[in-house]
Structure 1
Amino acid sequence: MAIGSTIHTFAVQLADVDRGVYEDLTLRVARHPSETDLYMVTRLLAYCLEYQEGIEFGGGVSTTDEPAVLVRDLTGAITTWIEIGAPDAARLHSASKHAERTTVYTHRDPERVLGLWRGKTIHNADAITLQSFDPRFIEDAAARLERRSTCSVSVTEQQLYLEINGANLTTAVHTQPIQ
C-alpha cells in the first residue's frame, strides 16, 4: 500500500512591502512522502514571495509536466514557472519555453546549483533567476514546522522576516541570474 501525502495547513500573514502585496492566506500544502521539510518550506516561501492572482501549487514532486508553483492567467496559460531546489538544465530549458517567466528558489548552496547549469543549453537562460536564502535559514524554519503552523512573512528591501510558530527568523533574499 502506497503512503499518501501529509497535509500541512499554514495560516500566513503576508506583507510584501517591495511589491505592495498584503494578504491573509490559509494554505493547505500536500507534502509527498519523498519531499523533505526543506523542500516544503522553500516551496511555501516561493509561493508567498511570488504571490499574485492566479498562483497555485503544482502537482508535486511526482508531477513532471508542472512546476512546484505556477501562475496562470485567466485563459489558464502558465505565465510564471517556479521550480524548487536544483532542477536539471533540460527541465529549465523546457520550462522557459512554456512560460513568460521562469525562476528557481533553492534551499541548497546556490553556487553548486548554478554549477549544474554552466555550459548547458537553456532556452532564454539570461532571463531565468535563482533565488536563495542565507545559510541555515531554511533549516531553522523547517525545524519549527508543525502540521498546523502560523506564519508571518514580511519582505522589505529584499530582506525577509519570517515568524513561524513563535520563532523569529530573518534572511536576505538573494537573486542571481543563472548565466
Structure 2
Amino acid sequence: MAIGAMIHTFTVQLADMDRGVYDDLTLRVARHPSETDAYMVTRTLAYCLEYAEGITFGAGISSTEEPAVLVRDLTGKITVWIEVGAPDSDRLHYGSKLADRIAVYTHRDPAKVIAPWAGKRIHNAEAIRVFSFGPGFVDAAAAVLERRNTMTLTVTEQQLYLDLNGTALSSAVHEHGIV
C-alpha cells in the first residue's frame, strides 16, 4: 500500500517590504513521500516570497505540466513559473516559453544547480532568476517543522527574517542569473 502525502498547515504573517506585500495566509501544503522537508520548506518560502493574486501550488512533485508554484492571471494563463530545487534545463525551457517570468528557488548550492544548464537550450535564459538562502537556513527551518506551523516572514532589503514555531532565523535572499 502506497503512503499518501502528509499535510502541513502554515499560518503565515507575511510582510514583504521590498515588494509592498502584506497579508495573512493559511496554507495547506501537501508533502509527497519522496519530498524532503528542506524541499517543502523551500517550496513554502517560494510561495510566500512570490505571493501575488493568482498564486497556487502546482499539481505535485511528479507533474511535468506544472512547476512547484505558479501564478495565473484571470484568464488562466500562467504568468509566473516558479521551480524549486534543481530543475533540469528542459523544464526551464518549457516553463519560460509559457510564462512571462520564471524563477527558481533552491535550498542547494546555486552554482551546482546552475552548472548543468550551461550550453543547454533554454528559452529566454537571460531572464531566469535563481534565488538561494544562506548556508544552513533551510535545514534549520526544516528541523523545527510541525504538522501545524505558525510562521512570521518579513523581507526587507533582500534580508529574510523568519519566525517558525517560535524559532527565529534569518538569511539573505541571494539572486543569481544563469547566463
TM-score, normalised via structure 2 length: 0.99
| Stretches of structure 2 lacking an aligned partner (at least 5 in a row) | none
- Secondary structure of 2:47's counterpart equals helix
Is residue 2:44 matched to residue 1:61?
A: no
- Secondary structure of 2:140's counterpart equals helix
Q: How do 1:95-174 and structure 2 match up within 5 A? A: 95-174=95-174
Where does residue 49 of structure 2 map in the other structure?
Answer: 49
Distance (Å, rounded) in 2 between the aligned partners of 1:135 and 1:28: 27
Structure 1 position 121, deviation (Å) = 1.2
C-alpha distance after superposition, 1:129-170 (max 9, x if no partner): 100000100000000100000000000000000000000000
CA RMSD between the two structures: 0.5
Structure 1 position 96, deviation (Å) = 0.3
Identity of aligned pairs, percent?
69
Distance (Å, rounded) in 2 between the aligned partners of 1:91 and 1:72: 18
TM-score, normalised via structure 1 length: 0.99
Distance (Å, rounded) in 2 between the aligned partners of 1:173 and 1:60: 25
- Secondary structure of 2:52's counterpart equals coil
Distance (Å, rounded) in 1 between the aligned partners of 2:41 and 2:178: 22
Where does residue 91 of structure 1 map in the other structure?
Answer: 91
Name the amino acid aligned to 1:18.
D
Distance (Å, rounded) in 2 between the aligned partners of 1:173 and 1:108: 13
C-alpha distance after superposition, 1:55-77 (max 9, x if no partner): 00001101110000000000011
Is residue 2:15 matched to residue 1:15?
A: yes
Distance (Å, rounded) in 2 between the aligned partners of 1:19 and 1:99: 20
- Paired residues, what number? 179
Name the amino acid aligned to 2:176.
Q
Name the amino acid aligned to 1:125.
A
Where does residue 30 of structure 1 map in the other structure?
Answer: 30
Name the amino acid aligned to 1:57.
F
Distance (Å, rounded) in 2 between the aligned partners of 1:135 and 1:38: 12
Q: Provide runs of 4+ in structure 1 moved above 3 Å.
A: none
Distance (Å, rounded) in 2 between the aligned partners of 1:57 and 1:42: 12
